[in-house]
């Protein structure tokens, strides 16, 4: 036997559903494909308290379903033919527990929720003997509840559906939506209008319902019924009352469903299923394309624009930080040198003052330690100031890049002023006026005095010898003066020598450290330049990559969107083919617009 034509279309649609992440639709189609032959499943669907249970009991003329305020099972109840009344609870993992029919309600109440998958009931009814199965479902309600899901699960394998709504009020918006959904998945639907016995205005309600269904494009007949009247008729065997209950018409409709040629019926069901699945899938794919297009339209332009803006920013920022760095470093060089010079100059002034008055021979030692200390101090202070300025400069440059970058500054190569390497000032050669020298100088001075006064006193009218007390006294006076003069000169010489030595030392220190510091600043400059150049390059690279990704992402999205568009076209084709395979006579299928 060749595979029926619908099988191929169904399989293709099923694959498409699976590929596009709609396993639920795929599962429905699979169940439609693998439905057991020789069984007609007739589902009963409706909102709570519309009289589903009463309706089914009245159809079967047997109290099978829970009615009134008895708790409705959370799972579907399948009612099929059995020679003796029997009920079976089917668990989640399909384990079967037979129970007595009259204890069914109690047993159901005793089971914790979620442990059952369905209930099977067998009743000896002629109506069901040809393989008809009536499926009572949990009431439809909140679209997110498991009860509703369990009820709508019926649509996967129902051959026909009885929708139940009571005659006390016209169809609500939710009921109409349910009817539309059911009709999409199932070709044969009837609306049973229950409780007409209690509603004086049921005829008007039936008309309203018919109108609403027609307006919504749902072709489903409306059959008013009354379970109460049917029950009374059954009790008394009153045929006329039975006709009035409306049930004979409903039973005729049910019999029609059971009598359909199975092959044709399966083709139709498959076709309707394919069309419903294809339509739902196309809708979700379209949503996906729309959102993708929205994202892309909004995203791409904005992203590229943003990247461009950031590139411009980066360029401006590069100029800014380079200028800033070079300016700051030039300033720093000048300032540091000036500061050091200023500090050394003050030291030199103090040196001058010291040696203008003091005798180096006496104060040198004390002076030398003061000088070393003061110089070290000056250099250290100058260096500390330099380091601070360098750090500040680094931060100022980092701030050009943005606040987040001033934490990751490079390590500046400022590892101490090197003041400990400073040599102590060398003691200059300071001659002291020693005793021997003093004696010699005194002798030399006294010589003139002795001679001068000796000659004068040795003149004839005095007649004194050359060496006499007067000449000797004069010699002594001359000696003292000479020694004093000589001492003064020597002191000045020593002071000059000491000043010179100290100044030269200060100059040496200034030269040495101003050079060292200048070099240090240059190294700092280089280090900062390298660091920030690197950072700028990184940012530029990142921007380039981002841009590439934006462009690549767009291409990828376009590729995907194109793929989805082609899929939509393919599904529209499947939808149409399914429409050609199975149509209800006299009805023109509405096609999906590709």
Positions touching another protein (CB under 8 A) are 48-49, 51, 54, 67-69, 139, 141-142, 168-169, 195-200, 202, 226-229, 232, 236, 238, 241, 244
Minimum Å gap between C-beta 48 and another protein is 5
Minimum Å gap between C-beta 197 and another protein is 3
Which residue, 53 or 122, is less far from another protein as judged by CB? Answer: 53
Contact 61, 128 (CB under 8 A): no
Minimum Å gap between C-beta 205 and another protein is 10
Which residue, 114 or 465, is less far from another protein as judged by CB? Answer: 114
Question: Within 10 Å of residue 346's Cβ, how many Cβ atoms?
Answer: 12
- Provide the sign of the torsion angle of the four alpha carbons 294, 295, 300, 306, taken in this order: positive
Minimum Å gap between C-beta 235 and another protein is 10
Which residue, 163 or 336, is less far from another protein as judged by CB? Answer: 163
Bridge partners of 119, per DSSP, are 77, 89
Bridge partners of 77, per DSSP, are 119, 136
Rg value, the chain, Cα: 58
DSSP secondary structure letters along 499-526: HHHHHHHHHHHHHHHHHHHHHHHHHHHH
CA distance 383 to 374: 14
Which residue, 141 or 416, is less far from another protein as judged by CB? Answer: 141
Which residue, 169 or 551, is less far from another protein as judged by CB? Answer: 169
Which residue, 241 or 419, is less far from another protein as judged by CB? Answer: 241
Minimum Å gap between C-beta 121 and another protein is 21
Contact 142, 67 (CB under 8 A): no
Which residue, 54 or 517, is less far from another protein as judged by CB? Answer: 54
Which residue, 24 or 238, is less far from another protein as judged by CB? Answer: 238
CA distance 271 to 275: 6
Could you tell me the two tokens for 173?
Answer: 């918006």
Which residue, 139 or 187, is less far from another protein as judged by CB? Answer: 139
Minimum Å gap between C-beta 242 and another protein is 12
Minimum Å gap between C-beta 141 and another protein is 4
Tell me whether residue 239 is exposed, middle or buried, using C-beta atoms within 10 angstroms of its C-beta: 0 to 12, 13 to 18, 19 or more: exposed
Which residue, 68 or 463, is less far from another protein as judged by CB? Answer: 68
Q: With residue 213 as reference, give the H or E element that holds it.
A: helix 202-215
CA distance 13 to 17: 6
Which phi and psi angles does 194 have, rounded to 5°? -90, 175
Minimum Å gap between C-beta 202 and another protein is 7
Which residue, 228 or 311, is less far from another protein as judged by CB? Answer: 228
CA distance 39 to 80: 10
Which residue, 241 or 564, is less far from another protein as judged by CB? Answer: 241
Minimum Å gap between C-beta 115 and another protein is 20
Unique residue bearing structure tokens 């076209």:
569
For 31, the 3-state DSSP assignment is helix
Minimum Å gap between C-beta 19 and another protein is 36
Residues 6+ apart with CB under 8 A from 156: 27, 28, 31, 32
Minimum Å gap between C-beta 547 and another protein is 46
Bridge partners of 166, per DSSP, are 194
C-alpha pair distances (Å), 368 with each of 271, 423, 503: 112, 11, 12
Which residue, 26 or 58, is less far from another protein as judged by CB? Answer: 58
For the chain, first and last CA: distance in Å? 35
E-assigned strand segments in 252-393: none
Minimum Å gap between C-beta 215 and another protein is 19
**For the sheet containing 86-91, what is the strand order?**
96-99, 86-91, 116-123, 77-81, 132-136, 40-46, 160-166, 189-194, 222-224
Unique residue bearing structure tokens 């994202």:
295
CA distance 421 to 380: 12
Which residue, 21 or 48, is less far from another protein as judged by CB? Answer: 48
Which residue, 50 or 495, is less far from another protein as judged by CB? Answer: 50
Minimum Å gap between C-beta 99 and another protein is 25
User: If phi over 0 gives left and psi between -120 and 50 gives alpha, with beta otherwise, what is residue 501?
Assistant: alpha
Buried b (16+ CB within 10 A) or exposed e, 315-333: eebbeebbebbeebbeebb
Minimum Å gap between C-beta 228 and another protein is 6
Minimum Å gap between C-beta 270 and another protein is 34
CA distance 324 to 536: 15
């Amino acid at each position: 036997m060749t595979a029926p034509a619908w099988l191929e279309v169904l399989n293709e649609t099923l694959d498409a559903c699976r590929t596009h992440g709609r396993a639920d639709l795929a599962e429905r189609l699979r169940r439609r494909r693998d439905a057991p032959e020789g069984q007609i499943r007739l589902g009963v669907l409706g909102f709570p308290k519309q009289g589903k249970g009463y309706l089914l009991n009245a159809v079967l003329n047997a109290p099978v379903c829970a009615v009134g305020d008895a708790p409705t099972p959370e799972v579907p109840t399948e009612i099929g033919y059995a020679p003796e009344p029997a009920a079976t609870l089917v668990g989640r993992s399909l384990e079967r527990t037979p129970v007595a029919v009259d204890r069914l309600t109690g047993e159901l109440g005793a089971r914790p929720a979620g442990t059952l998958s369905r209930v099977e009931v067998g009743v000896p009814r002629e109506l069901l003997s040809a393989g008809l199965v009536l499926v009572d479902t949990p009431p439809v309600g909140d679209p997110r509840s498991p009860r509703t899901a369990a009820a709508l699960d019926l649509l996967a394998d129902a051959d026909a559906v009885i929708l139940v709504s009571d005659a006390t009020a016209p169809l609500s918006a939710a009921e109409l939506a349910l009817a539309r959904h059911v009709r999409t998945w199932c070709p044969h639907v009837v609306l049973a209008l229950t409780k007409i016995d209690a509603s004086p205005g049921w005829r008007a309600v039936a008309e309203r319902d018919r109108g609403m269904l027609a307006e919504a494009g749902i072709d489903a007949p409306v059959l008013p019924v009354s379970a109460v009247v049917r029950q009374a008729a059954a009790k008394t065997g009153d045929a006329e009352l039975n006709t009035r209950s409306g049930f004979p018409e409903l039973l005729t409709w049910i019999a029609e469903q059971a009598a359909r040629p199975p092959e044709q019926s399966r083709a139709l069901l498959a076709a309707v299923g394919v069309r419903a699945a294809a339509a739902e899938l196309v809708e979700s794919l379209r949503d996906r394309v729309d959102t993708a297009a929205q994202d892309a339209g909004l995203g791409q332009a904005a992203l590229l624009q943003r990247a461009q803006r950031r590139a411009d920013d980066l360029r401006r920022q590069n100029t800014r930080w380079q200028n800033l760095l070079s300016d700051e470093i030039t300033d720093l060089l000048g300032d540091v040198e000036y500061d050091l010079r200023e500090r050394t100059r003050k030291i030199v002034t103090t040196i001058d003052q010291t040696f203008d008055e003091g005798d180096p021979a006496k104060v040198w030692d004390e002076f030398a330690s003061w000088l070393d200390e003061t110089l070290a101090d000056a250099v250290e202070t100058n260096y500390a100031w330099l380091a601070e300025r360098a750090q500040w400069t680094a931060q100022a440059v980092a701030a050009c890049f943005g606040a987040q970058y001033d934490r990751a500054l490079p390590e500046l190569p400022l590892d101490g002023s090197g003041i400990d390497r400073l040599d102590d000032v060398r003691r200059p050669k300071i001659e002291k006026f020693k005793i021997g020298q003093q004696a010699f100088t005194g002798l030399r001075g006294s010589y003139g005095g002795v001679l001068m006064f000796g000659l004068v006193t040795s003149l004839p009218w005095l007649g004194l010898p050359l060496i006499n007390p007067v000449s000797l006294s004069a010699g002594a006076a001359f000696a003292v003066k000479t020694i004093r003069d000589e001492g003064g000169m020597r002191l000045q010489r020593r002071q000059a020598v000491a000043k010179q030595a100290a100044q030269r030392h200060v100059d040496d220190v200034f030269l040495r450290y101003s050079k060292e510091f200048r070099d240090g600043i240059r190294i700092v400059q280089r280090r900062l330049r390298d660091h920030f150049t690197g950072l700028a390059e990184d940012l530029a690279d990142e921007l380039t990559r981002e841009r590439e990704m934006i462009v690549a992402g767009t291409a990828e999205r376009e590729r995907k969107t194109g793929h989805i568009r082609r899929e939509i076209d393919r599904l529209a084709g499947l939808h149409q083919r399914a429409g050609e395979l199975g149509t209800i006579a006299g009805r023109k299928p509405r096609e999906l617009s590709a």
